[in-house]
Amino acid sequence: MPQFLDTTAPDFETAFVALLNAKREDSPDVDATVTEIITDVRNRGDAAVLELTRKFDRLTLTPDRMAFSADEIAQSVARVSSQDRAALELAAERIRAYHSPQLPPDNQWTDADGATLGWRWSPVSAAGLYVPGGLASYPSSVLMNAIPAKVAGVERLVVTVPTPDGQVNPLVLLAAQISGVDEIYRIGGAQAIAALAYGTQTIAPVDKITGPGNAFVAAAKRRVFGKVGIDMIAGPSEILVIADADNDPDWIALDLLSQAEHDASAQSLLITDDAAFGRAVADAVETRLQTLERAAIAGASWRDYGAVITVRDLDEAADLSNRIAPEHLELCVADPAGLSQKTVHAGAIFLGQWTPEAIGDYVGGPNHVLPTARSARFSSGLSVMDFLKRTTLAQMTPQALRAIGPSAERLAHSESLQAHGLSVRARLDSLNRPQI
């Protein structure tokens, strides 16, 4: 059973802080191993990647077989049923439609001093998407990562997906094809991250790496950051449901389990203003666990990290939600839009009892790559903006330089940067010379 907390209890604050600080991330000491792998790939390129692929994925490749050929992709996606293809295409269409309006406009103007200022946006030239491999891989993650990159205008999009024992998920290849991915390599782990960041004889380096992975992949992304950009370091999945008693307990139980079944370290929380309803949801979770295929995983998550919190009212629920800053937040209340105005820290908000979080994982449209571990307090989910960079523009006229240059010169002298000041002064002096 999960924890049951009540904000009226004298020890609530202590118990709630302990819940917030519970260490869920599986963080084995992998940094030394990852460092060795990255160094090896940097030094030996393809040879290191192939050796590590043979070791960890039990798959022997040659450089010319690291990438899936067009024929291999065609043969694999041909095995996808028409129903699965239609579902992927619908998801892709909705994701693309949601992300396209995110493209920001360039801007330029002339200020009162006559200086022309502005900015322009441009995509990164190449991006790499890491996809966990094997038959348990997630084609939805391919869509969620690749489509925003293509909407942003990324010219070259590369996917790395391990194929342990040669196992390939045809849906992943189809999702990559639908998304406009340019290259797909059957490699994974820290070696794939290193190859994307530094390049090998076969794989050209990229500018940004996105996508989920295990502890080794996460550690590798941390280590190559700076050489390339990364999206985020994601932890175990999490959901917070705020629900009143006017809900079906079984629906809420299934919503909680939809995240619990991801990982034994995932966290599912319920906040309600009705204690009896909270108990009914907990009972419904136990009932569903009797038949759930991933009951062992979901049950461990619910037992070790789940909680039902009873509050005085929904304002108090919103306050607790902001402290939790959940990855996914469901508002199953009478006025979800109103309550959403008070819940300012969340990766994604799902409004009303007819909007289960699972819709967001697949076909809602907004991205499902979201900040975890309370990082929604300061970061956002993946978007088109993650694949764009802003370049500022400035152009002075002689009149503009005459107006603002002396202040730049003075500030340069105050910082003891003589050449800075002189570069401005030389131009100002030329403006002050008598014209012949």
Checking phi first, is residue 46 left (phi over 0); if not, alpha (psi -120 to 50) or beta? alpha
Q: Give the contacts of 120 (CB within 8 A, at least 6 positions apart).
A: 106, 390, 391, 393
Q: Which of 183, 238, 261, 327 is catalytic?
A: 327
Which helix H or strand E contains 240, and what residues bound it?
Answer: strand 238-243
What is the rounded CA–CA span in Å between residue 70 and residue 419? 57
Please list, residue by residue across 106-144, b when 16 or more beta carbons sit within 10 angstroms of its beta carbon and e when fewer do.
eeeeeeeebbeeeeebebbebbbbbbbbbeebbbbbbbb
Task: Identify which of 287, 224, 217 has the alpha carbon closest to the alpha carbon of residue 251.
Answer: 287
326, 240 contact by CB (below 8 A): yes
C-alpha 52, offset from chain centre:
27
Q: Which of 183, 328, 368, 409 is catalytic?
A: 328
357, 259 contact by CB (below 8 A): yes
Active site residue 72: no
What is the rounded CA–CA span in Å between residue 372 and residue 379? 9
Residue at 205: amino acid letter: P
Task: Identify which of 267, 344, 339, 340 has the alpha carbon closest to the alpha carbon of residue 309.
Answer: 267
Active site residue 328: yes
Length of the chain: 436
Checking phi first, is residue 243 left (phi over 0); if not, alpha (psi -120 to 50) or beta? beta
Residue at 9: amino acid letter: A
186, 154 contact by CB (below 8 A): no
Give the residue numbers marked as catalytic: 327-328
